[in-house]
Chains A and B, each alone.
Chain A
């Protein structure tokens, strides 16, 4: 059985890779990387999801299934790192715009 999350994961990651490889605008490349990151995060969270599970907090917990806590911790860390990478790349983009006056990678190629 293939659940809908994994289809969404595959779609998000392929969309992101498409943007990184084929788009020529720097901001769209950054967006592409961010979309790949969302796809991977969705993958991690759906790995730990249990049908009808509750949040993994043991204090006064009822005796039902819990979702796995480890993938959530991983996802949280990965979101924070993703934020740092996106911020770094956008700041590079701002400074590159200052040099090129354009965001199109085809307009100016400084290194060859």
Chain B
């Protein structure tokens, strides 16, 4: 199996490998837990290698198209009609595929020890890998119906994972999550139906090409259906209530996958807005995103203040972080319709903040999981003086705290600054809301830091932190610091090509059809 073969088939392999691994994991589980873990680790590492090769190839040679079932993978339109299921890897989708698979790999390494004393781990890994396959599919899909299927697969797999503990609370969180995501997915299917009724097409690029010629009220109706469905899944302001519940009740290694899934639904929203619906988008959707973003920041931060449970508190902070992304990208949407030239900066801020948000949120949730693992407690009022007993967790929490509240020299500062700068031109009040939200978040997390890590030494039992868990936190902290110290490198290397791909509508259409 040569490298060329891997690169040529990389979009299909990125989905197929986790899928094969998922359903083989229980079989390996019959042979013993070590063998099963080794199998999952090898398959996830192999998937990671494939998506990294894909990303490097896409950056060097441009977008790659893969038609499933074709004799030649690039043959997307047999008889001149785009009917096949198409996977598209451009700089944007490859960036998010790499992010999703990397987080899945890190979540697995973390769970090696974290899950070792729990039951039903075979099925847990099956669902985890299924979620990985669905996330890779969401990034790479090039047609609407496959998008719906992968969205549903990700909802079902994550609902199963949220309910993993099978306590009353986790079941309630899983039920809420399923209701929200099932209704959202049906809205999405309805929107896809409207588009199919008008164009008789499901291929995203083909619809984009048609819509550039003629757009009508039906397109606006379809866009509002799709956007509401994807905003439901991302957990922005009006429907944020499932988010703290699910993030609190799921095992932390699942929580970081849920964070990534929520951001991937935002990625899908931005992809369809900027690539397909530009002719009908206008500035309304952009303003809606900006206002929902500001509301999410406000609600997330204020609801986080009274929380006692560490993971629930971070769940509300995650609602606020989604608000920043919506603010940045919404500014870019308004700016495109006004042609006033700061669309690229705003969009760079939004996309960069998506990557940073995955890193920051993952690190802080994993630290919270580490605290739970070593002390068996997660109520803030029961913990104090942990800094004397576990210096490593203290340092990691401090890094995550600075990154989430957007303080230099961490990565959150770089992307939030881009968002503030561009949203300021839209309306200075919005920038003030954003900065005030960040400051309140800093105050909040410093309070947590003081009450959990400082004070008289912790007296309870502190189990040693396993090496695998510490390793995962180190990797995340490394990227947080590198992206914070050299934001220009990260912007030039990965974010700018992704933003160009997102805005390069003509190139996307030309590449696929």
Contact = CB atoms under 8 A, between A and B. Distances in A.
B407 interface: no
Nearest to B246: A111
Nearest to B148: A78
Contact of B171 (A13, A36, A96): A96
Nearest to A110: B169
B202 A70 contact: yes
A65 to B, nearest CB: 15
A85 B178 contact: yes
B190 A13 contact: yes
Given A92-B175, A96-B171, A111-B169, A37 B186 contact: yes
B182 interface: yes
B172 A85 contact: no
Contact of A74 (B145, B155, B249): B145
Nearest to A108: B168
B197 interface: yes
B163 A99 contact: no
Nearest to B159: A88
A62 B170 CA distance: 57
Given A84-B156, A95-B171, A40 B179 contact: no
A20 B178 CA distance: 12
Contacts of A78: 148, 189
B183 A96 contact: no
Contacts of B156: 84-85, 88
Given A33-B183, A110-B169, A93 B193 contact: no
A100 interface: yes
Interface residues of A, number: 32
B190 A40 contact: yes
Interface in A22-46: 26, 29, 33, 36-37, 40, 43-44
- A29, A71, A74, A77 interface centre (most CB from chain B within 10 Å): A74
B164 to A, nearest CB: 12
A88 B190 contact: no
Contacts of B160: 88
Interface size class of chain B, counting residues whose CB lies under 8 Å from the partner chain: 35 or more
B152 interface: yes
Question: Which of A78, A84, A85, A111 lies at the interface centre, i.e. has the most chain B CB atoms within 10 A of its CB?
Answer: A111
Tell me which of A96, A99, A110 has the highest count of chain B C-beta atoms within 10 A of its own C-beta.
Answer: A110
A68 B175 CA distance: 36
A93 B182 CA distance: 15
B371 interface: no
Nearest to B146: A77
B152 A81 contact: yes
Interface in B235-282: 245, 248-249
B78 to A, nearest CB: 15
Nearest to A73: B145
Contacts of A71: 193, 196
Contacts of B148: 78
B137 to A, nearest CB: 14
B174 interface: yes
B178 A89 contact: yes
Interface string B144-169: 01001100100110011001001111
A47 interface: yes
A111 B152 contact: no
Given A47-B196, A71-B196, A89 B190 contact: no
Interface in A93-112: 93, 95-96, 99-100, 108, 110-111
A26 B183 contact: no
Contacts of B169: 110-111
Contacts of A70: 83, 196, 200, 202
Nearest to A68: B200
Contact of B193 (A17, A29, A44, A110): A44
A43 B470 CA distance: 51
Contact of B172 (A13, A36, A37, A96): A96
Nearest to A30: B179
Nearest to B145: A74
Contacts of B149: 77, 81
Nearest to B175: A92
A32 to B, nearest CB: 9
A18 to B, nearest CB: 12
Contact of A77 (B145, B175, B179, B193): B145
A83 B267 CA distance: 27
Contacts of B202: 70
A37 B183 CA distance: 9
Contacts of B172: 96, 110-111
A85 B149 CA distance: 12
A41 B160 CA distance: 25
A68 B200 CA distance: 10
B228 to A, nearest CB: 12
Given A13-B190, A37-B186, A74-B196, 20 more contacts: A20-B179, A20-B183, A29-B179, A33-B183, A36-B183, A40-B186, A40-B193, A44-B189, A47-B197, A74-B145, A74-B189, A81-B149, A81-B152, A85-B156, A89-B179, A92-B159, A93-B175, A95-B166, A95-B171, A99-B168
19 contacts: A13-B190, A20-B179, A29-B179, A33-B179, A33-B182, A36-B186, A40-B186, A40-B193, A44-B196, A78-B148, A84-B152, A88-B156, A88-B159, A92-B175, A95-B163, A95-B171, A96-B168, A99-B167, A111-B248
Interface of B: 83, 145, 148-149, 152, 155-156, 159-160, 163, 166-169, 171-175, 178-179, 182-183, 185-186, 189-190, 192-193, 196-197, 200, 202, 245, 248-249
Across the A-B interface, the 4 shortest Cβ-Cβ residue pairs: A99-B168, A47-B197, A110-B169, A81-B152
